[in-house]
Amino acid sequence: MKWQGRRQSRNVRRGRSRGGRASRGMIPFPAGRIGGTGLIIIIVLVLIFGGDFLSSGRSESRNNVGTYENASETITPENELEAFLSVVLADTEDVWHEVFAVYGERYREPTLTLYSGSVQSGCGFASSDLGPFYCPADENIYIDPSFYYELKNKFDASGDFAFAYVLAHEVGHHVQKLMGTTDYVFAKQDQLSEKEFNQYLIRLELQADYYAGVFAHYVQNKGYLEIGDIEEAMNAAAGVGDDAIQRKAIGKVIPDQFTHGTSEQRMRWFERGYRYGDLEHGDTFTAHELFVNDWDDIGWYSDFATAA
């Protein structure tokens, strides 16, 4: 991705890295945990970039503890990672301002908190094991930049645009909050069995992938993508699919414990967003159930998967 020298978002903060209280209400990406669903609605996507966060200015927020403590005067790959995320966040702002304007709505920008190890979020205490996540309560995305390396080593997803996909997915969860989709889903929690509710959570996740695709559509049109970027994102979407993660972790696939959708589903919804670049084609909730793969009670829509 062409990102050097471009605008960085002002909405990036460093988090405190210690705190300590129970966490709940977060929506994680397909990160660390296998199987668990219920409480955790954070959107955590994994990013591994390593190191440190913004070293530019912002001395008022230097109350963090941990490995980033002394980094702000040093130029490191971590700083570069932080700069990269700040540019990608700025791009998401441009994209979603533009998309919302098409529908006569105004986009409210989220904050990105970069932390190391653990963080006290508006949804409670979280460690980086959870992976990148979005907290609807404070409209804040939390990422430990070291997730970049995890993405590469654990999920076989390398490349800068793989990381951009992760952040764009989390921003997708923010878009869902603004549109009322998050509330729509969580209002169902008490009416449904855990298994049924989990299907809604997966649809929420796949829609965040669709929105990440919408982001890719726009930055492509602006000329910021390089050859191979879309493949990097698709590869990341595959790498964080539930079936891929389970296969690696436990050597088998347990569809009842899916939380984010299969590799195939994640790639498909990302690609769909990339193709259409609008909101209309991103309704994972009414997508009909005729479909396609082996674990099919989730049954998604087959727009291009069947044709492929």
* 29 contacts Zn ion (rule: CB under 5 A): yes
Contacts 24+ apart (CB under 8 A), 284-287: 284/203, 284/204, 284/206, 284/207, 284/210, 285/200, 285/203, 285/207, 287/203
Output the residue with the shortest Cβ distance to Zn ion: 43
54 or 202: CB nearest Zn ion: 202
Beta carbon nearer to Zn ion, 34 or 65: 34
Contact 108, 96 (CB under 8 A): no
Q: Annotate each residue in 71-110 with x if it binds Zn ion (CB under 5 A) or - if it does not, as one string.
A: ----------------------------------------
CB of 56 to Zn ion, least distance (A): 28
The piece of 43-51, 61-69, 136-144, 296-304 that touches Zn ion (CB under 5 A) is 43-51
The minimum distance between CB 52 and Zn ion, in angstroms, equals: 25
Q: Which residue intervals of 154-241 are DSSP H helices?
A: 160-179, 181-186, 194-221, 229-239
Residues 202 to 241: which contact Zn ion by CB under 5 A?
Answer: 205, 208
| Of residues 82 and 205, the one with the C-beta less far from Zn ion | 205
Site residue total, Zn ion (CB under 5 A): 4
Residue 70 CA from chain centroid, whole number = 28
Per DSSP bridges, beta strands 140-143 and 133-135 are antiparallel
Nearer to Zn ion, 45 or 279 (CB): 45
CB of residue 183 to Zn ion, shortest distance in Å = 16
Nearest distance in Å: CB 6, Zn ion:
26
**Helices 229-239, 194-221: crossing angle, 10 deg rounding:** 170
Among residues 90 and 204, whose Cβ is nearest to Zn ion?
204
For 216, the token pair is 């890719």
Question: 20: which 2 tokens?
Answer: 């300590």
Q: Report in angstroms the alpha-carbon separations of 247 from 157, 219, 243, 305.
A: 16, 33, 6, 22
Give the interface segment with Zn ion, choosing from 26-34, 81-89, 93-101, 233-241 (CB under 5 A). Answer: 26-34
Distance between CA atoms of residues 28 and 18, nearest Å: 19
The yes or no reply on residue 258 touching Zn ion (CB under 5 A) is no
Whether 8 contacts 107, CB under 8 Å: no
Residue 296 CA to residue 193 CA, distance in Å, equals: 18
Task: Choose the binding region for Zn ion from 12-20, 28-36, 185-193, 297-305 (rule: CB under 5 A).
Answer: 28-36
**Residue 240 CB, nearest approach to Zn ion (Å):** 9
Nearest distance, CB of residue 302 and Zn ion, angstroms: 22
Which residues does 272 contact at the CB level (< 8 Å), separation at least 6?
Answer: 210, 213, 281, 282, 303, 304
Residue 242 near Zn ion by CB under 5 A:
no
Contacts of Zn ion in 169-208 (CB under 5 A): 205, 208
Q: Minimum distance between the CB of residue 165 and Zn ion, rounded to whole angstroms?
A: 11
For position 43 contacting Zn ion by CB under 5 A, the verdict is: yes
Distance CA 70, CA 76 (A): 12
- 49 and 149 in contact (C-beta within 8 Å)? yes
State the nearest-atom distance from the C-beta of 205 to Zn ion, in Å.
5
Binding-site ranges for Zn ion (CB under 5 A) = 29, 43, 205, 208
